[in-house]
């Protein structure tokens, strides 16, 4: 299975970028991870217009048959074994690609949330969008470890 991670803008904090790279490398044992960065919109536009335009840019990067998962504070909250269950379910359904999308500082557009097959929340706590990237990769890695019976989850 390929797992795509679509991020809006580069990860500016080097310690987070290092952690993301580390978990991307760890994930390669279980799947084909691919991180793609979509350029943030610049220029004079309202916040709402920016969110909508960036949402279209993110959706344009989702491959046609990929299952889209949007990360949003209002999404469904799952524990780690439930995350693992999602991957088991997707593999059972023959899904070849799952795409996780993380928006920017202002979040995701309504169009992205409506297009997603699943909207998940990482926590009721608030994280920066850059921290959410690292947490997402770690949770995906944890899910694969649970499925493999590894002691990482303990």
- The per-residue DSSP string of 88-110 comes to HHHHHTT--EEEEEE-BTTB--H
CA distance 150 to 112: 34
Contact between 33 and 6 (Cβ < 8 Å): no
Per-residue confidence band for 26, with pLDDT thresholds at 50, 70 and 90: very high
Residue 138 tokens read as 């770690």
Task: Give the count of domains, the chain.
Answer: 1
Domain that residue 129 falls in? 2-153
pLDDT in tens, 64-120: 899 999 999 999 999 999 999 999 999 999 999 999 999 988 899 999 999 999 999
Q: What is the pLDDT of residue 154?
A: 65
Alpha-carbon Rg for the chain, nearest whole angstrom, is 15
CA angle 67, 127, 70 (to 5 degrees): 15
Task: Dump pLDDT digits (tens) for 41-61.
Answer: 988 989 999 999 999 999 999
CA angle 141, 143, 146 (to 5 degrees): 110
Q: Are strands 118-121 and 97-102 parallel, antiparallel or unpaired?
A: unpaired
**Residues 138-142, mean pLDDT to the nearest whole number:** 97
Q: Are 33 and 3 in contact (CB under 8 A)?
A: yes
Following CA atoms 46, 50, 51, 55 in sequence, which dihedral angle do they give, to the nearest 10 degrees?
A: 160
Q: Answer yes or no: is pLDDT of 4 > 80.
A: yes
Rounded to two decimals, the pTM is: 0.94
What's the pLDDT at 106? 87
CATH number at residue 137: 3.40.1280.10
pLDDT at 14: 96
Neighbour tally for 149: CB within 10 Å: 8
């Amino acid at each position: 299975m390929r797992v795509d991670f679509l991020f809006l803008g580069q990860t500016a904090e080097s310690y987070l970028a290092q952690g993301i790279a580390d978990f991307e490398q760890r994930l390669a044992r279980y799947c084909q991870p691919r991180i793609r960065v979509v350029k943030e919109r610049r220029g004079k536009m309202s916040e709402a217009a920016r969110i909508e335009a960036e949402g279209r840019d993110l959706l344009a990067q989702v491959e046609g048959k990929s299952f889209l998962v949007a990360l949003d504070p209002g999404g469904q909250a799952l524990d780690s074994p439930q995350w693992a269950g999602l991957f088991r379910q997707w593999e059972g359904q023959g899904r070849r690609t799952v795409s996780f999308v993380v928006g920017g500082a202002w979040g995701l557009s309504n169009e992205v949330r409506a297009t997603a097959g699943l909207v998940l929340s990482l926590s009721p706590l608030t994280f920066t969008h850059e921290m959410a990237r690292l947490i997402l990769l770690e949770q995906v890695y944890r899910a694969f470890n649970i499925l493999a019976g590894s002691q990482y989850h303990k």
